[in-house]
Amino acid sequence: MSSPNTFHLNQSATTEFVFRVFTTSPKIQALLFCFFLLLYIMTLCGNTAIIWAVYTHTSLRTPMYFFLSNLSLVEICYTTAVVPLMLSNIFESQKPIPLAGCAAQMFVFCTLGGTDCFLLAVMAYDRYVAICHPLHYTLIMTQKRCIQLMAASLGLAVYLNLQLTILIFTVPFCGHRLEINHFFCDAPPVLRLACGDIRVPQAVLFVMGIFVLTVPFVLISISYIFIANTILRIQSAEGRRKAFSTCSSHLSVVLLQYGCGILVYMRPKSSTSEDDDRQLALVYTFVTPLLNPIIYTLRNKDFKDALKKSMNCTAASETP
């Protein structure tokens, strides 16, 4: 007679997930496919342009743009972990994803999302040092320190999300072919399909939300309180404008990223709608990664000038 643990392992080995389709209308499916594909291509192009400009223009080789280029790289990987599979499932094909594949997608997506959040906090710290302690900026934000902060953001996200993913996928699921009311394997919709006691995974998910969302957001808020106080004491109007412009782009991305994340992962489950979660997920999967390059390029004169020079140099080198 097989033990319960053996039954659970056998069940897990055969469990598959399918994603609920957005619509059954072929015309709307085609429109959604084209729309999401266009957003994905724009996201890839915009963030790749930021990386390219930073690493081809010497004036942008500063800590602020080092973190921005790494943020863009994270955004590219973040969307790529979800969008290609989502596009392949739009036309009502409902291709199944095995349990291991679902776990891998959740781990990669949540790890990159966590890295994104930690990196935004690091960028706020960089702006705090630059504006509040300008004389010590080069001594504090050395190349070694920047690499350490980037590595710490990624390492902490990997450590936290590896434990969360393992915990979620050790819970038994009710059936062998399960439909997720979502377009990728995110933690809340996957947990809804479990047939065991999910109180512990839900509690861990909430604590994770505090570590990944609330704590960095509070630190960012504190940084900007000090930054605002320093900017208001600057005598020159031009100096105040320049200091504010370097922060406003980052602050816009922070509010959008953390706002969506907190609404999905931190609100009470009694007020959570599966459809609302899916709609919010579309925002932080498509809109935030797309707005990141747009916000930084449109509101940053130095970056716009450097991007134009890099494009002109490339065009000139290709001219026979």
Amino acid at 65: Y
Maximum average pLDDT range among 229-243, 258-272, 282-296: 282-296
Residue 314 has pLDDT above 60, yes or no: no
Whether the per-residue pLDDT at 105 is higher than 90: the answer is: yes
- Segment 52-77 shows an average pLDDT of 87
pTM for the full model?
0.86
178 three-state secondary structure:
strand
Contacts of 173 (CB under 8 A, 6+ apart): 11, 12, 15, 99, 193, 194, 195
Phi–psi pair at 197, nearest 5 degrees: -75, 115
Taking every pair of Cα atoms in the chain, the longest distance, rounded to a whole number of angstroms, is 81
Mean pLDDT of the region 115-125: 92
Residue 301 has pLDDT above 90, yes or no: no
Structure-model confidence comparison of residues 272 and 26, the more confident one: 26
Terminal CA-CA length for the chain: 78
Q: In the predicted model, is pLDDT for residue 186 greater than 60?
A: yes
Tokens of 264: 């999905």
Q: What average pLDDT does range 84-98 have in this prediction?
A: 81
What's the token pair of residue 214? Answer: 């609330």
Q: Going from the N-terminus, what domains does the chain have, and what CATH number goes with each? A: 14-302 (1.20.1070.10)
* Residue 275: predicted pLDDT: 66
d(CA 9, CA 315): 58
Q: How far apart are CA 125 and CA 311, in angstroms?
A: 31
Q: Mean pLDDT of all residues in the chain?
A: 82
- 91 pLDDT band, cuts 50/70/90, is confident
pLDDT category at 109 given cuts 50, 70, 90 is very high
Selected residue with higher pLDDT from 284 and 146:
146
CA distance 74 to 71: 5
Q: What is the pLDDT of residue 74?
A: 93
Looking only at the bridges linking them, the beta strands covering 16-19 and 97-98 are antiparallel
- Count other Cβ atoms within 10 Å, centred on residue 80: 17
What pLDDT does residue 209 have?
86
Q: Are 146 and 66 in contact (CB under 8 A)?
A: yes
Q: What is the DSSP letter of 213?
A: I
pLDDT at 318: 53
Q: Are 32 and 290 in contact (CB under 8 A)?
A: no
Amino acid 131: pLDDT: 87
How wide is the angle at C-alpha 128 spanned by C-alphas 124 and 131, nearest 5°? Answer: 130
Q: Is the pLDDT of residue 40 over 90?
A: yes
81 within 8 A of 108, measured Cβ to Cβ: yes
pLDDT for 81 = 92
Number of Cα atoms under 13 Å in the Cβ half of residue 52: 16
Q: Which residues contact 19 (CB under 8 A, 6 or more apart)?
A: 86, 89, 94, 97, 179, 180, 182, 183, 184
**CA atoms of 211 and 205, how far apart (whole Å):** 10
Q: Dihedrals φ, ψ of 96, to 5°?
A: -75, 150
